[in-house]
Structure 1
Amino acid sequence: MIAWNYCVAQYYKTANCTPWTIKDIDADTCYLGISFHRINEDGNNHLRSSIAQAFNKDGKGLVFTGKQFEWKSEKTRVSTPHLKYGYAKELIISVLNQYKLINKHTPKRVVIHKTSDFWDAYINSDYNELDGIIDGIKEVLGDNVEYDLVTIKSSQLRLLRNSDYPVLRGTLLKVSNEKAYLYTNGFIPYYDTYPGAYVPMPLSIENIGETPIVDICKEILALTKMNFNNCSYCDGLPITIQFSKKVGEIIQYFPKDIENPPNKYFFYM
């Protein structure tokens, strides 16, 4: 395992080559993940910063850190931060412009993954991130661009099968055209076993967009195999979300005078 991880890292970081890619995934789609991390400053528990990760079908990722902002959960009664309209729009415009510049490619579709709901003006007029994200996408890519805003959460739902093992990885329970439950962990026929240590939990998937929820779940399942930072068969979360946790842990220890941290994926491996 150590040797495999080392070789893959060298192949990707030093040789600048792609270890593996996904065959059945749209090459004209930009996959974004938005997450948040706490700023490591003494005496201030409210400072946050956003992290946006952009990935193409080859798993080549870019990292973007947004400006610091203050989030007081006692006012909103929600622990997970949300973005104001202007902040969300500015972040998306910056990410997509850099994505186009570095990849020399203009995506026709944008998929955004987030582990919290997308708030609109109806939910909270001060944190209308939904319209900010959509307006930012259209400003960079035009009104005809397709987009899907996907919320990915853990769920307490359990599905059972008549077997000694949990349900198969990839098991999907469609609830509606906008919501489904997806098992990204579970019994893997290739191994003829379930390799995990705990009972697998499905992900709750909700989408705001035109793409069918089944296709959204297929993409999420594929993106769980795009982590070049380990030799696991798959992760429980797509790379758009899984990677952000590691980046957040690293960025909070950067010196204060670094305004623009490195944006290439391999710097954080």
Structure 2
Amino acid sequence: MNTDVLIRSGRTRARRAAKGSAAEGAARAGFTARGVIYLLVGMLALQIAFGDGRRQADRGGALAELSDRPFGAVLLWALGVGLVGMALWRLSEALFGSVGRNGRTARKRLLAAARCVFYSFVAYSVLAFAASPGGGSGSSDQQSRDVTARVMEVPAGRWLVGAAGVAIVAVGVGIGVQAVRRKYHDKLKLGQLRPWVRRLVDVTGVAGGVARGLVFAAAGAFAVRAAVAYRPDEAKGLDDTLRSFAGTPLGPWLLVCVAAGLVLFGVFSFAMARWRRV
């Protein structure tokens, strides 16, 4: 009897270890894929800031840039698979909870479920592009305007668009505040980081998080303005949002700072892929 119990216990531990390894691999692949996208978007935004705006500084532009590289098709498929891994890992967090304090609370699980839906959409768009390069669904700017116009056609559509814009602004502010407070420390294996690596992670995490939060907040503000003016064309996708920074009194230098921040967030995502607790 004791032998049977030991065998069952060993099998249970083996299944848990396998699931843990699978979840960890999926998460790390997902963070790597996220890092590649932000790195490319940031580099495209830098090109725009310095007068070269041939490509959109959004996910579509990043994928087009990647497809032009040697072994571009392979890289696109790898990127899509990595994002599928991210979505599956977020799904596992929604179902079983995440690491850290309060990881199994309803709030954490709902947040993980929302992230699962988001990364599922992103993974689908990347895989669709990989299957048919050049046949994407259009720029993020046109998509934002189309979605805004459709929502405004339904009853209380303006209020829905405005509420969504306010929520996106709040998310952006939250991202920036959490970055400044270095809340990501709670999720990192800090004991494994050498002092100079930790400083590098903090530079990329804070600067990258603030830039990312600023982009979210600006995009949300444009959605609110579209709702107030009842003009769907006021809504902006990622590319138009980034280009709008160049139209401020600070000129293209604000766009340079934000673009550099997105590049740093890409690097930070690579650090998360290496040292995040999963």
More strand by share: 1
More helix by share: 2
**Which of the five TM-score ranges fits, normalised by the shorter chain?**
under 0.3
Superposition TM-score, scaled by structure 2 size = 0.27
Superposition TM-score, scaled by structure 1 size = 0.28
